[in-house]
């Protein structure tokens, strides 16, 4: 049952991603609407599969890499829908859904068994810490997609080649605004995740900070986004610089998530 | 009955011929009523714009009607027929329908996708309705032309993307700021093109307008025109800090805004984006300014390139529009040919009803003392029999097949339906 729901949502996201990419090259109102419908369907099924897993295991389904990737993707779709509802860009899906699909794909090739939580970690902090961390990461994922859209549109405007996607991409001001909003959303979430993580670590392992690789990389991520927010506030740096940094920031997030969890020995790896 | 269009347009005739044949002002009414008075012409509508004069008509005999309309054009405008005859085109039936649909959808316009022609066609139609010069066929044709044009407009991007320099400037501004409401704008210098672009920006909702001119008085005049505020030339870089859009068109022989100055402006405005349009030749703004982040500088050639790529885009969309038009022409032609069978169906039913009534009358005379119930039953039986009998031929006539013309002729002959006037 859980597997069927998961596979089904993966299929939906795959279909939506394919449509969104075709839409980039041969866009029409119908295809972007179809993409939204399919993504919506995938999202509902995905939600059902998460609830199902929660009902079986009794904790938020973020206890294995499989569950974490899937939950990460779910958060991204959630934010995507909220933004698309507000801004109606029609084209944002083409830049965000591929990320969702890749997260789901990586989730699908990882071991799927439902495992009991390590007793050391069993605490109400688990839910709060991981939920905040993933929601924050999801905001950064959207900022990444928006950042790429910004860089493309900026390129069209600067090079004066107004064709292709130029007419369909939103204005750079709107893209900059969404990018800023996403970082303003993600940054406090990440900050809270780090603080709750420290408190949890204190109660589980006896110290707030252990220089664990995940902790270090999260700190690096935090500094990158703090820098983006700082320069915007002080010198008004915006637009291209913010877009490039949000792309880099998300690559660091991905490394922190996949690289550290899968390769480096860490207290945060799902082992 | 046939639909025919006879006329000329910017593709077939130069302006000196078009103006000779134009039906301007009161001539239109006079012309339409003359045309309607011709014996061959059953319905007529006359489209006369600066780019085209086209007469749409429903006629019995095409060749005679075309001939008469040509002579009418010559005599009405008091010109020699040879002067314009070569410029005329004549289309009939599906070609005529296709022509009108293309004209209405703005595929035949000088600037493909321009919106005015649809309004002109609506006016033509309204005028014809008012003067009652059209009937079933042309009314339907005009309505279909308008709905086809609307379909083309919503299903293709033929009318999107600016095709004039001043609109291209507004379009670009929208890709930088989205909403121009609340943005402020500076007009540096003066000039026809700059003022036109400025007017478009103001119409798009730009709020604050600042006008700078070397001669302060001229600046004040322009400022009054745009409801803006005049600023002395020396003060414009300081004022630029508060402006999001700058249109520059001065006669200065050298750059009036240098890269260093712009760097300073950008720092002071906290790097909020600026859109600069330099219409002046020689250019007045250092082209290197485009390299500064968040500054988007376009000169006349850049805008011209934007316009040209938009025109190409419209041509591509026009191909999609042709497909839509082909579909609509086909449905219209089908509808038109279904019209032929309607009088036959009506006549057939009438004939059957007549026979029924006649026989019932005879029956009632033969059996005068039959009670009401029984008489009703016999009437019911008669009605059922004629309905059953005429149903198959009626269905066959309604069906859209190749041999409908032959069927119509056969049924007329078989049932002796000669009361109908023959159209051809």
Please tell me whether residue B298 adopts helix, strand or coil conformation. Answer: strand
User: Between chains, do B309 and A240 touch, taking CB under 8 Å as contact?
Assistant: no
Predicted confidence (pLDDT) at residue B37 exceeds the cutoff of 80: yes
Asked if B174 lies within 8 A of A235 by C-beta distance, the reply is: no
Question: What is the domain range of residue A4?
Answer: 1-117
- Could you give the CA distance from residue A81 to residue A88 in angstroms, rounded to a whole number? 10
H or E, element range at B211: strand B208-213
Rounded distance, CA B364 to CA A88, Å?
75
- Which of these, B158, B152, B157, B160, lies nearest to B324 by C-alpha position? B152
d(CA B248, CA B242): 16
Q: In which band, very low, low, confident or very high, does the pLDDT at A207 lie, cut at 50, 70 and 90?
A: confident
Residues of chain A with Cβ-Cβ distance to B174 below 8 Å are 171
Residues comprising chain A, all counted: 271
Q: Which residues of B form the catalytic set?
A: 50
Are residues A99 and A224 both part of a single domain?
A: no
Read off the pLDDT of residues B371-397 as tens digits, 9 standing for 90 and up.
Answer: 888 888 999 999 999 999 989 888 888
- Assess whether A222 and A178 both reside in one domain: yes
**What distances in angstroms separate CA B223 from CA B74, B233, B256, one per listed residue?**
52, 13, 20
Subunit contact B178:A173, Cβ cutoff 8 A: yes
> Is the ipTM value over 0.90, yes or no?
no
- Among B178, B271, B298, select the one facing A170 at the smallest CB separation: B178
Number of domains chain A is built from: 2
When pLDDT is averaged across residues A197-214 and rounded to a whole number, the result is 80
The confidence score (pLDDT) of residue A224 equals 92
Q: What is the arithmetic mean of pLDDT over B300-329?
A: 90
Q: How close A87 gets to chain B, by Cα (Å)?
A: 11
Contact A162 B272 (CB under 8 A): no
B178 part of contact set with chain A, CB < 8 Å = yes
Average pLDDT over residues B86-97: 92
Which residue's structure tokens are 């996403």? Answer: A182
For all residues of chain A together, what is the average pLDDT? 85
pLDDT tens profile A129-150: 888 888 999 999 999 999 999 9
At residue B117 the predicted structure's pLDDT band, cuts being 50, 70 and 90, is: very high
- Whether residue A112 sits in one domain with residue A144: no
Q: What tokens were used for A73?
A: 């993707």
How high is the pLDDT of residue B421?
A: 45
CB contact under 8 A, B175 and A241: no
State whether A25 and A105 are in the same domain: yes
Co-location of A108 and A143 in the same domain: no
Q: What is the pLDDT of residues B47-83, one digit of tens each?
A: 998 889 999 999 988 889 999 999 999 999 999 988 8
CA-CA distance, B424 to B415, in Å (whole number)?
A: 21
Across B227-242, average pLDDT: 88
Specify the DSSP class assigned to residue B27.
H
**In the structure encoding, which two tokens stand for residue B11, read together?**
């593709």
Q: What is the pLDDT of residues B15-34, one digit of tens each?
A: 888 988 999 888 888 999 89
Q: What would the two tokens of residue A67 be?
A: 């569950």
Q: How confident is the model at residue B370 (pLDDT cuts 50, 70, 90)?
A: confident
B267: chain A residues, CB-CB within 8 Å? 235
Which residue of chain A is at minimal alpha-carbon distance from B300? A160
**Same domain, yes or no, for A112 and A156?**
no
Of B98 and A114, more confident: B98
A71, A60 in Cβ contact below 8 A?
yes
Q: Residue B209: which of B241, B236, B178, B245 has the closest Cα?
A: B245
CB contact under 8 A, B293 and A172: no
- Between A114 and B220, where is the model more confident? B220
> Highest mean pLDDT: which of A40-49, A254-263, B192-201?
A40-49
Under the banding of pLDDT at 50, 70 and 90, the label for residue A183 is very high
What's the whole-number mean pLDDT along residues A8-29? 84
Residues A146 and A27 reside in one and the same domain: no
Residue A127 domain-assigned?
Answer: no
* First and final C-alpha spacing in chain A: 25
Look at B404 and B84; give whichever has higher pLDDT: B84
Nearest Cβ partner for A158 among B290, B305, B313: B290
Question: Does B172 contact A at CB distance below 8 Å?
Answer: yes
A65-87 and A172-205 helices, crossing angle to 10°: 150
pLDDT at A240: 87
Of B157, B267, B273, the CB nearest to A239: B273
pLDDT for residue B112 is more than 80? yes
SS3 A85: helix
Distance separating alpha carbons of residues A219 and A211, to the nearest angstrom: 10
- Answer yes or no: is pLDDT of A190 > 50: yes
Question: Which of the four pLDDT bands, split at 50, 70 and 90, describes residue B419?
Answer: low
Chain B partners of A173 at a C-beta cutoff of 8 Å?
Answer: 176-178, 273
Regarding whether A214 and A137 lie in a shared domain, the answer is yes
Region A26-36: mean pLDDT is: 79
Question: Which pLDDT score is estimated for B24?
Answer: 83
Q: Do A170 and A242 belong to one domain?
A: yes
Residue B359 in contact with partner chain A when CB distance is under 8 A: no
Comparing CA positions, the residue from B228, B194, B235 lying closest to residue B211 is B228
- The answer to whether residue A122 is domain-embedded is no
Closest CA of chain B from A170, distance in Å: 7
Q: At what angle do helices A29-57 and A2-25 cross, to 10 degrees?
A: 160
In whole angstroms, give the CA distance from residue B247 to residue B305. Answer: 18
Lowest-pLDDT range of A116-130, B42-56, B244-258, B348-362 = A116-130
State chain B's mean pLDDT as an integer: 88
What six digits make up the tokens of A108?
């699908």
- Beta-strand (E) ranges in B115-273? 184-189, 208-213, 229-232, 245-249
Label residue B228 left, alpha or beta by phi (over 0 means left) and psi (-120 to 50 means alpha). beta
Name the residue among A160, A163, A166 with its Cβ closest to that of B298: A160
Q: Is the pLDDT of residue B422 over 50?
A: no
Neighbours of B225 (CB within 10 A): 14
Q: Note the pLDDT of residue B123.
A: 92
φ, ψ of residue B297 in degrees (nearest 5): -105, 125
Give the torsion through C-alpha atoms of A169, A175, A181, A185, to 10 deg. 60
Burial A29-38 (b: 16+ CB within 10 A, else e): eebbebbbeb
Of the residues A117, A144, A168, the one at which a domain ends? A117
Looking at the domain assignment, is residue A128 inside a domain?
Answer: no
Task: Return phi, psi of residue B113, to 5°.
Answer: 90, 0
B306/A contact by beta carbon, under 8 A: yes
Q: Which of A201-215, A242-256, B17-31 has the lowest mean pLDDT?
A: A201-215
The answer to whether A167 contacts B174, with C-beta atoms less than 8 Å apart, is no
- CA neighbor of B173 nearest in space, from B213, B203, B153, B211: B203
Question: Do residue A93 and residue A227 come from a single domain?
Answer: no
Check residue B324 and give its pLDDT: 94
pLDDT at position A263 over 70: no
Ordered by where they begin, the domains of chain B are 2-155 (3.30.460.30), 165-308 (3.40.50.720)
Mutation pick from A87, A151, A161, A171 vs chain B, by most beta carbons of B within 10 Å, is: A171
SS3 B55: strand
Tens of pLDDT, residue by residue over A38-97, are: 999 999 998 988 888 888 877 777 777 788 888 889 999 999 999 988 888 888 888 999
The reported pLDDT for the residue numbered A20 is 86
Q: What pLDDT sits at residue A264?
A: 59
The distance of A227 to chain B (nearest Cα, Å) reads 17
CA distances (Å), origin B406, targets A270, B94, B339, B346, B394 = 82, 21, 15, 17, 14
Q: Is residue A124 part of a domain?
A: no
Residues on chain B touching A156 (C-beta within 8 angstroms):
175
Q: What's the CA gap between B7 and A212, in Å, rounded?
A: 84
pLDDT of residue B423: 41
pLDDT in tens, B260-279: 999 999 988 888 899 999 98
Query: What phi and psi values does residue B304 have, to the nearest 5 degrees?
Result: -60, -40
| A42 assigned to some structural domain | yes
Chain B residue numbers with beta carbons less than 8 Å from the beta carbon of A237 are: 271
Q: Nearest-CA neighbor of A87 among A164, A157, A173, A162?
A: A173
Per-residue pLDDT, A266: 60
Both A177 and A98 in a single domain? no
**A142 and A268 belong to one structural domain:** yes
Is B246 a residue whose pLDDT tops 90? Answer: yes
Establish how many alpha carbons lie within 13 A of residue B372's alpha carbon, considering only the half-sphere containing its beta carbon. 0
Beta pairing partners, B211:
B187, B230
Q: Where do we find the tokens 């007793």?
A: A119
């Amino acid at each position: 049952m859980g597997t069927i729901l998961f596979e089904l949502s993966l299929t939906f996201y795959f279909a939506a991603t394919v449509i969104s990419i075709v839409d980039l090259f041969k866009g029409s109102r119908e295809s972007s609407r179809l993409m939204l419908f399919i993504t919506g369907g995938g999202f509902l099924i995905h939600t059902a599969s998460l609830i199902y897993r929660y009902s079986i295991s009794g904790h938020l389904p973020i206890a294995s890499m499989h569950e974490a990737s899937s939950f990460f993707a779910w958060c991204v779709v959630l934010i995507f829908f909220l933004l698309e509802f507000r801004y109606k860009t029609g084209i944002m899906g083409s830049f965000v859904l591929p990320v969702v699909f890749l997260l789901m794909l990586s989730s699908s090739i990882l071991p799927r068994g439902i495992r009991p939580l390590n007793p050391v970690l069993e605490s109400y902090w688990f839910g709060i810490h991981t939920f905040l961390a993933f929601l924050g990461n999801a905001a950064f994922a959207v900022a990444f997609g928006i950042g790429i859209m910004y860089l493309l549109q900026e390129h069209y405007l600067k090079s004066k080649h107004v064709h292709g996607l130029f007419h369909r991409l939103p204005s750079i001001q709107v893209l900059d605004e969404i990018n800023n909003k996403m970082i303003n959303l993600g940054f406090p979430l990440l900050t809270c995740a780090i603080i709750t993580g420290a408190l949890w670590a204190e109660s589980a392992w006896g110290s707030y900070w252990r220089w664990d690789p995940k902790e270090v990389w999260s700190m690096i991520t935090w500094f990158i986004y703090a820098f983006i927010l700082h320069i915007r506030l002080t010198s008004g740096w915006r637009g291209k610089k913010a877009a490039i940094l949000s792309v880099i920031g998300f690559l660091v997030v991905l490394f922190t998530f996949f690289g550290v969890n899968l390769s480096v020995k860490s207290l945060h790896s799902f082992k | 009955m046939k639909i025919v269009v006879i006329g000329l347009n910017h593709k077939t005739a130069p302006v000196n011929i078009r103006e000779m044949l134009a039906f301007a002002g009161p001539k239109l009414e006079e012309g339409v009523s003359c045309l309607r008075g011709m014996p061959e012409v059953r319905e007529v509508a006359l489209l006369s714009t600066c780019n085209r004069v086209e007469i749409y008509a429903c006629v019995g005999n095409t060749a005679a009607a075309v001939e008469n309309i040509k002579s009418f054009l010559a005599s009405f405008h008091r010109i020699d027929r040879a002067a314009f005859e070569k410029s005329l085109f004549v289309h009939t039936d599906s070609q005529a329908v296709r022509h009108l649909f293309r004209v209405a959808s703005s595929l035949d316009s000088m600037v493909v996708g321009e919106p005015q022609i649809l309004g002109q066609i609506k006016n033509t139609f309204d005028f014809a309705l008012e003067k009652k010069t059209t009937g079933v066929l042309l009314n339907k044709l005009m309505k279909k032309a308008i709905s086809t044009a609307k379909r083309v407009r919503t299903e293709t991007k033929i009318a999107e993307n600016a095709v004039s320099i001043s609109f291209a400037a507004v379009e670009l501004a929208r890709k930088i700021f989205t909403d121009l409401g609340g943005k402020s704008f500076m007009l540096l210098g003066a000039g026809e093109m700059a003022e036109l672009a400025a007017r478009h920006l103001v119409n798009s909702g730009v709020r604050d307008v600042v006008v700078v001119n070397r001669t302060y008085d001229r600046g004040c005049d322009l400022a009054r025109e745009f409801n803006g505020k005049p600023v002395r030339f020396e003060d414009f870089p300081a004022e630029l800090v508060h402006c999001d859009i700058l249109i520059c068109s001065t006669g200065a022989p050298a750059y009036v805004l240098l890269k260093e100055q712009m760097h300073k402006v950008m720092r002071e405005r906290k790097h909020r984006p600026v859109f600069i349009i330099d219409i002046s030749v020689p250019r007045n703004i250092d082209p290197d300014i485009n390299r500064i982040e968040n500054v988007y500088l376009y000169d006349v050639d850049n805008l011209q390139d934007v316009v040209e790529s938009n025109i190409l885009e419209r041509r591509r969309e026009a191909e999609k529009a042709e497909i839509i038009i082909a579909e609509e022409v086909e449905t219209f032609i089908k509808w038109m040919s279904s019209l032929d069978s309607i009088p036959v169906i009506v006549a057939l039913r009438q004939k059957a009803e007549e026979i029924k009534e006649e026989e019932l009358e005879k029956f009632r005379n033969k059996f005068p003392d039959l009670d009401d119930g029984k008489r009703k039953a016999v009437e019911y039986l008669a009605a059922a029999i004629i309905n059953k009998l005429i149903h198959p031929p009626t269905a066959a006539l309604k069906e859209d097949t190749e041999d409908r013309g032959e069927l119509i002729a056969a049924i007329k002959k078989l049932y002796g339906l000669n009361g109908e006037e023959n159209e051809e």
